[in-house]
Amino acid sequence: MKVLAPRPRLLLGAVVAALAIMAVGAAGAQAKLVKVTGSTTVTPSNGAKTFLAGAGVSVAPVAPASAANGTYTFPIFTGFGDAKTYNGLLAHKGGLRFTKGDRSQVVRRPVAVRIAKRSVLLAQLPGLRGGCQSLRAAIRRFAIHRPGYTDPLSKAAKRYPKAAKGFIKATKRYCSQGRVIVLARLTNPSKSVSGNTATLSAELHLSGQAARLINKVAGKKVVKAGALLGTGTSTVTRAG
């Protein structure tokens, strides 16, 4: 079975900004963030169903993700969020496999990052490399070009050395297990709270990287960047 790989590219400035801030926020989670558990369900849009079916591309969950009634559910492996702003990070297990004939590509371990108006969904392409080296360099460039903004990794390491080491170790492990891409951009976020549980929703719009990936599996251009992939709904509960 042939596995397809998109060309490596630098992650967008929005991702750099979000992860740069999260490098401090996650390391200092005990200061202002809460840990959460739960799951995220993705409901494909009618447009996504149409262009995938029309191109003969099938989509199947990769365990422990699951599919039921036309939706896909991903367990949250770990997550942190600001209880007031709902900025944070949700890392998931499982993935999706896109297949047509002998062409196939898996995207797995999606990570949703939300900082103010900057919201994206990252994912891994297993068996490939790239993404994180460019990301680390971009984070440093982002810090350098922000007046009065210090290197977030250095700041976190000095203030919370133990937590920072754990965060950096987890990032390296994530990067070593596949190429990191931007899978989608999240728009029109909404939230509701009931007791200790919050429901967070957003629309998922395909990135250029993801659109090229699907087009290569399809063997022709069937979708372009910005297309509505569907809606993601995360139900999270404060851990502990």
**pLDDT, tens only, 14-30:** 344 444 444 444 444 44
Q: Which range has the worst mean pLDDT, 48-57, 65-74, 91-100, 114-123?
A: 114-123
Question: Who has greater pLDDT, 122 or 47?
Answer: 47
What is the reported pLDDT for 83?
A: 73
* 215: nearest Cα among 44, 9, 55: 55
Local confidence band at 114 (pLDDT 50, 70, 90 cut-offs)? confident
Q: Residue 136 — very low, low, confident or very high, per pLDDT cuts 50/70/90?
A: low
The pLDDT value recorded for residue 161 is: 61
Name the 3-class secondary structure at 28: coil
| Per-residue confidence (pLDDT) for residue 8, from 0 to 100 | 33
- Give the confidence band of 164 by pLDDT, cuts at 50, 70, 90: low
Going from N- to C-terminal start, the domains of the chain cover: 2-238
Answer yes or no: are the C-beta atoms of 180 and 138 closer than 8 Å. no
Cα–Cα distance for residue pair 167/179, rounded to 1 Å: 18
* pLDDT reported for residue 122: 87
**200 contact partners, CB below 8 Å, separation of at least 6:** 86, 189, 190, 191, 233, 234, 236
